[in-house]
Structure 1
Amino acid sequence: MTETPAESDFEPPRAPETPRFPDEPAPSDVVRAAYALAESAADAAGVRVRDADPRDLDAVVGLFERTWGQGRSPDRAMLQAMDHAGNTVLIATESGPGVTSAAVGATLGFLGWEGGLHLHSHMNAVAPWRRSGGVGHALKLFQRAVSLDHGVTEVRWTFDPLIRRNAHVNLVKLGAEVTAFHPDFYGRLDDAITGTDRSDRFEVRWRLDSPRVLRALARGKQPTWTGEDTFALADDFESLRADDPAWAAERRTASRQAFREAFSAGLRPELTSENDYIFTADSADRDDSADRS
């Protein structure tokens, strides 16, 4: 599975209110700031984001299946076990005067330790009528705050590299960086998003308190990445894939060659100002403003 194109009454910043053992340190300024940023994003989206409880799990399953198709969500028992064990099973509900608390977004992440302790963010779903409205962003920021609160400073996930809006959200808006290319990562999915297309994925690393991420979350100016090779992305690959599968298959094949050559040369994909890929050897934390000082 992969994170969707997504784009919380939110509980107040929870770091100060979370029950702690007597010898557990108080939340740091970084953690407090992360919860405050998540709360602000949720307010802007008109939602409340919080940890799911057992009463929410049917709604979480429903959101995942609405996004990927019937039977494509972990079942309720699995979500219950993961939630009970402390993984991030998060839910976003409508907020505001006179509105019901209907679930409009959900996120699932679990701990991993391959290559270092991290949270693997596996699924991020938003109801169709609330996409592109900031719900997915609010969920990600709450996930970041919870991770930092528990001493986890890195989140990873995968996404289809040909979906332009996901690339923009991941690399520019959130400040994640591509670390690997995985052809056919999940095998043939036949789900509501990918269909019969190949499940090629970029893996990204979100270093939660890095200069790159802090700049992105502050909406700072993105660097002008240096590099000679680029790869153009379609404005709406998903619609074009549905309308012309043969064309989509050709673009998939071309992208595989471009990505393999770039990674073999030690280059990393970033986005140009036109939201096309440029392959660069620049530091992921490059900051053009420092060059002008």
Structure 2
Amino acid sequence: MGSVTDLIDATPPASLAVVSSAAARAATDVATGAAARSGVQVVELTALDDLRAVQALFDSIWHPAPDNPPVTVELMRALTKAGNPLTGAYADGVLVGACVGFFAAPSGTALHSHVTGVVPAAQRRSVGRALKLHQRAWALRHGLTTITWTFDPLVRRNAWFNLGRLAADPVEYLPDFYGPMEDTINASDQSDRLLTRWDLDSPAVVRAAAGEPRTVDLAVLRSAGAVPVVSAGPGDAPVVTSAPPGVPWLVAVPPDVESLRARDPALAAEWRVAVRTALGGALSSGAQVRGFAREGWYVVDGAAPRRAPEAGRTAP
């Protein structure tokens, strides 16, 4: 049986010591085209009025607690003065999305993307992808090779966007990273996050930027012996099972955890624990997440522990 890497359209990240001017120009052309197809103009923002508009946009998306906004105007002002990228996406002159990042370790090679948001009316137009590709081009022009960010591993559409459409790679599971978040999206759920790395000029990322996402053939994986270690059982509750050594793991997430949190917080919490224990345990043991199937499954290589840790409801 081939390895999980053979079954997924993926290329291990390359070590990039130098960013070529050709790569930066190509990334800029790709970003410009993505923005045009999304019907937006993506620009860098530094003026106070623009930063206030970004904070208002984020507030309209997350409706955060008054003492815990995603980012403040004062912080954005300091970040942009220090040379960090802050971009906005405009449709017909109206701000519909924004992205805030800052330089990260290792110094001179990495950027951390702290928050990206798109208003609901502009979603499903690939505005978020246009913002990320603009950020990628900016980073390459400035000699950076990597962008990192975090996302909630239970949000299926974000997992597909990050791992499939952008071809980024999860590198660390962060339990309750921000603590309780009293906003309408997180709904007081524990703020588990996947720390994700985007190797900006790796072959997989270049292909994804050109419109060829990293895909997973779930049927082929199953026929090759992949084992669901977290799956939906009776009542849509998570069921955890063990896996034999050396085979890929499949870790399911619910179709819409945000709606589930509002409808059944206890069930959403079961999914949180099940995915945290399986996926977090795999990453901490040295396993790698190789991709995400659009059907709702993380694919983990066979280097994880031989048994899935006990969590949720265990299958007989």
TM-score bracket for this pair, using the shorter chain length: 0.7 to 0.9
Q: 1:266 offset after TM fit, Å?
A: 2.1
1:59 aligns with 2:59: no
- List per-residue Cα deviations over 1:17-69 (Å, max 9, x = no partner): xxxxxxxxxx8111111111111111111100010130311111111111222
Whole-Å separation in 2 of the counterparts to 1:213 and 1:228: 23
Aligned to 2:287: 267
Question: SS state of the match for residue 175, structure 1?
Answer: coil
Residue in 2 aligned with 1:278?
299
Q: Decide whether aligned partners of structure 1 residues 221 and 184 sit closer, same or farther in structure 2, where only a CA change above 3 A counts.
A: closer
Letter in 2 for 1:62: A
**Conservation of the 8 A alpha-carbon contact between 2:38 and 2:126:** yes
Residue 232 (structure 1) aligns with: 252
RMSD between aligned residues: 2.1
The CA deviation at 1:190 is 1.4
**What is the aligned partner in structure 2 of residue 113 from structure 1?**
105
In structure 2, stretches of 5+ residues that fail to align are 1-19, 227-246, 304-316
2: distance between equivalents of 1:77 and 1:274?
41
Distance 2:251 2:214 in 1: 22
| Cα drift, residue 115 of structure 1 | 8.6
1:93 to 87, 90, 93: 90
Q: CA deviation at 1:140?
A: 0.4
SS in 2 for 1:240: helix
Cα deviations across residues 194-237 of structure 1 (Å, max 9, x unaligned)? 12111011100000001121122231563656743211122111
Q: 2:37 aligns with which of 2, 24, 44?
A: 44
Q: Does 1:77 align with 2:79?
A: no
- Whether the 8 Å CA contact 1:117–1:152 is kept in 2: the answer is yes
Q: Is this contact kept in 1: 2:109–2:144, CA < 8 A?
A: yes
Q: Is the 8 A contact 2:57 2:96 kept in 1?
A: yes
SS at match of 1:31: helix
1:134 matched to 2:154? The reply is no
Amino acid at match of 2:263: D
Who is 1:252 aligned against?
272
SS of equivalent residue, structure 1 residue 271: strand
Aligned-pair CA distance for 1:260? 3.1
SS state at 1:119 partner: strand
Query: CA deviation digits over 1:218-259, x for unaligned, max 9?
Result: 315636567432111221111111111111011111112112
User: What code does the residue aligned with 2:44 have?
Assistant: D
The answer to whether the Cα contact below 8 Å between 1:176 and 1:206 also exists between their aligned partners in 2 is yes
Aligned length: 252
Q: Which amino acid aligns with 1:213?
A: V
Deviations 1:75-103 (A, max 9, x none): 22221121121111100111xxxx4x011
| Contact 2:160 2:293 (8 Å CA) reproduced | no
* Unmatched runs of 5 consecutive residues or more in structure 1: 1-26, 283-293
Looking at structure 2, the residues matched to 167 and 111 of structure 1 have their Cα atoms a distance apart, in angstroms, of 24
Match of 1:13 in 2: none
Q: What is the CA–CA distance in structure 2 between the aligned matches of 1:264 and 1:79, rounded to whole Å?
A: 33
1:205 aligns with 2:225: no
The normalised TM-score by structure 2 is: 0.75
Consecutive aligned runs of 4 or more in structure 1 exceeding 6 Å deviation:
none
1:275 CA drift (Å): 3.3
The 3 A distance-change label for structure 1 pair 173 and 221 is closer
The share of aligned pairs that are identical, in percent, is 41
Distance 1:113 1:128, change over 3 A: same
Task: Classify the secondary structure of the residue corresponding to 2:273.
Answer: helix
* From 87, 94, 98, the counterpart of 1:102: 94
Do 1:61 and 1:74's aligned partners in 2 also have CA atoms closer than 8 Å?
yes
Q: Report the CA distance between 1:181 and its aligned residue.
A: 0.4
For the residue of structure 2 that corresponds to 1:167, the secondary structure is: helix
SS at 2:276 equivalent: helix
Closer, same or farther: CA 273–47 of 1 in aligned 2, 3 Å = closer
| 1:215 equivalenced with 2:231 (yes/no) | no
Residue identity in the other structure for 1:43: A
2:204·2:214 contact (CA, 8 Å) conserved in 1? no
